[in-house]
Amino acid sequence: MNNPSAQGGRGPSQRQLRVGEHIRRILSETLQRAEIHDPDLNRMSITVGEVRVTPDLKIATAFVLPLGGEGQDDLITLLARNKGELRRIVGKKAGLRFAPDLRFRLDDTFDRMDATRALFERDEVRRDLDDDGDDK
């Protein structure tokens, strides 16, 4: 999420969430339809899992992952190379006064879910969880 200390300990505002989701949809559709003038980027199937925007809406960080997980390093490079065109498209379609600066990061949500799932499968964790249920 956004840095809670920058917002007084609160999470993102409704406006940030709404704008982030709107930008996520725009990026997803743009990349799916291969609207970018870069054949290398257009060859990739890309998932845009989330977009987080700063409170002032000046920076939007898109969390992306190539379908199948292959080509992750190339993906960030290609998106950075086409950042200007993507920003122009987002600015045009989002209806915001200013187009946010786009930043791209690999989406590690699935990796974290796998790690959490593996943690819960460990014998000592299962034993601790079972013990907690017996105390009640």
Q: Is residue 60 part of a domain?
A: yes
Q: Is residue 32 part of a domain?
A: yes
Average pLDDT over residues 3-30: 84
Q: Which domain holds residue 54?
A: 4-107
How many domains, the chain?
1
Q: Is residue 123 part of a domain?
A: no
Q: Is residue 115 part of a domain?
A: no
Q: Is residue 37 part of a domain?
A: yes
Q: Is residue 130 part of a domain?
A: no
Question: Which parts of 37-108 fold into alpha helices (H)?
Answer: 39-42, 72-81, 83-94
- Overall residue count recorded for the chain in this entry: 136
pTM check: above 0.95: no
CATH for 74:
3.30.300.20
Give residue-wise pLDDT tens across range 14-26. Answer: 999 999 999 999 9
Q: Is residue 128 part of a domain?
A: no
